Amino acid sequence: MSTQVTQEAARRRTFAVISHPDAGKSTITEALALYGHAIQSAGAVHGKGDRKGVVSDWMSMEKDRGISITSAALQFEYRDCVVNLLDTPGHADFSEDTYRVLTAVDAAVMLLDAAKGMEPQTLKLFEVCRARRIPVITFINKWDRPAKDALELLEEVEERIGIKPTPVTWPVGIGGEFRGVVERIAIGGKKSEGMVRYERDSGGVTGAKMEVLGEDEAREQFGDEYARACEESELLGEVEADFDRTSFLSGDTTPTLFGAALVHFGVGQLMDLLVDIAPAPFAREDVEEKPRELDTGFSGFVFKSQANMNSSHRDQLAFVRVCSGKFDRGMQVTQAQSGKTMSTKYAQTMFGSSRGTAEDAWPGDIVGLVNATGLSVGDTIYEGSKVEFPPLPAFAPEHFGAVEMRDTSKAKRFRKGIAQLDAEGVVQVLYSERRGDGIPVLAAVGPLQFEVTLARLKDEFGVPAEINHLPYQLARLTDSDGAKKLMTAPGIEVFTRPRDGAYLVGLPNKYRIQTLLSDHPGIKLEALLAGGQN
């Protein structure tokens, strides 16, 4: 029987945009918001003239470098749906943040650079999506520039990741000579029998102009280019590369579109396709692998924590994915891990760094709880019958550095800043007996995380600091017995991780693991979730 909760959940589309760096992820995020009428005009990543930078990039380092360093949430209505769009960092150094975001979505849009095809980070992200059974829509971007052959790109995807691309649009014109697309399925409730012709707007800020051409008109205007597109489209059908919803939802195929995000070619079709085929929220499994039905009492989990997003709001925001039931602002919820109750009086919706009061929310929505200092990434909150969702694993660090403040008179601010960044998961904060409590060790997937940490300590907490890099390249989990035995072993260092009480061993290379196992038979040295090569 349909309830208000299930009806509202059916209207939600919650997805992330993921890609290799420089594939155009933030650009397409903003273009989707434009097509959703959430913004009036789009600016380039760095902003040009009097245009703003992308709405999802709010940190000063993001604006300066033109890259996404942290994830951001945007919510807007499109057609009869509520869209929750999560932008993610593209840089490999921030894989852990992207992974956490992927736990909070029901689908993903993967961008491929048409000239570069499958890149290392793209491959890793596809693998994460497949492991989490997240359906993926692929958008082959930058087709308005010189590119690989379209069929070659499809073959590359299938060979390298084992997921079959099923094009729903097919380009008219080779890369760099993009005329438009042939639509291979109905998108947005209709299917164009000829082709959709694209035309650039003035400056690329308000959306591309689209014109549907009939078959005769398309042949007259684009002759051989249109004929080739039709032939290739027919060939796709012969090799069973047609869209199939069941195989898409199971992760065996990826519906594929061609476009150019910067000039908005194909973005409108992507927006419609997401509403058409992306799955609505469904019952999530708890730690006991039992599904929490949508119309059960409210539940959600924290997938991100962020402080100081807006200079006008110097506070901390816990990002909560609503999993079941209805959220009402002010309701009393219980934190599953501690059993403590807390108020949700200060609940907000997010649009990049902008905020609004969230009076209610439904499964699939993202809610920001302000100054919920008792909440950490991975925590579950609920009302009514108890539930606890699986914890979010930490990635295996590959870079280690001892962080020291330059001004010891700011020790209190330094400790506060380190604790805040640890709670947000910007880096893993570790301590060792060798260095004492005054010199924390930062463990990161990539060195850019160190730069972010130092920049935020200086800008947000007024504490200049420096990193002394340590000679460790990987880490393994151990237990208290292993920690005692390894405390004096040469060439390694034993750390404690305050956020969960775990013991980590910093190691210079994988060969040292073998010697430790030989010297201490039966000792625990367990691998963490790999973020890179670990």
- Binding site for GTP, by residue number, is 87-91
The helix-helix angle for 95-102 and 120-131 (nearest 10°) equals 30
Instruction: State the chain's maximal CA–CA distance in angstroms.
Output: 80
CA gap 92, 100 in Å, rounded: 14
Instruction: Decide: 334 and 386 in contact? Cβ < 8 Å.
Output: yes
CB atoms within 10 A of CB 79: 14
CA gap 462, 478 in Å, rounded: 36
Instruction: Decide: 273 and 248 in contact? Cβ < 8 Å.
Output: no
Q: Which of 83, 113, 248, 259 is nearest to 183 (CA)?
A: 259
Q: Between β-strands 180-183 and 169-172, what pairing exists: parallel, antiparallel or unpaired? A: antiparallel
Measured CA to CA in angstroms, residue 34 lies from 37, 204, 262, 273, 466 at distances of 5, 11, 12, 16, 41
Measured CA to CA in angstroms, residue 77 lies from 83, 105, 204 at distances of 6, 17, 23
Instruction: Decide: 333 and 486 in contact? Cβ < 8 Å.
Output: no
Instruction: Looking at 239-341, list the stretches that DSSP marks H as alpha helix, in order from N- to C-terminal side.
Output: 245-249, 267-277
CA gap 99, 91 in Å, rounded: 12
- Going by the DSSP 8-state scheme, the letter that residue 115 receives in this structure is T
Measured CA to CA in angstroms, residue 316 lies from 29, 308, 367, 376 at distances of 24, 6, 13, 11
Contacts of 178 (CB under 8 A, 6+ apart): 143, 144, 171, 172, 198, 258, 260, 265
What are the tokens at 191? 């299917």
CA gap 354, 483 in Å, rounded: 45
Q: Helix/strand/coil (H, E, C) string of 149-214?
A: CHHHHHHHHHHHHCCEEEECEEEECCCCCCCEEEECCCECCECCCCEEEEECCCCCCCCCEEEEEC
- The neighbouring-strand residues paired with 108 are 16, 136
What are the tokens at 279? 């799955």
Instruction: Decide: 441 and 380 in contact? Cβ < 8 Å.
Output: no
What are the tokens at 516? 């430790």
CB atoms within 10 A of CB 161: 19
Q: Token pair 């309701």 is at which residue?
A: 331
CA gap 320, 350 in Å, rounded: 11
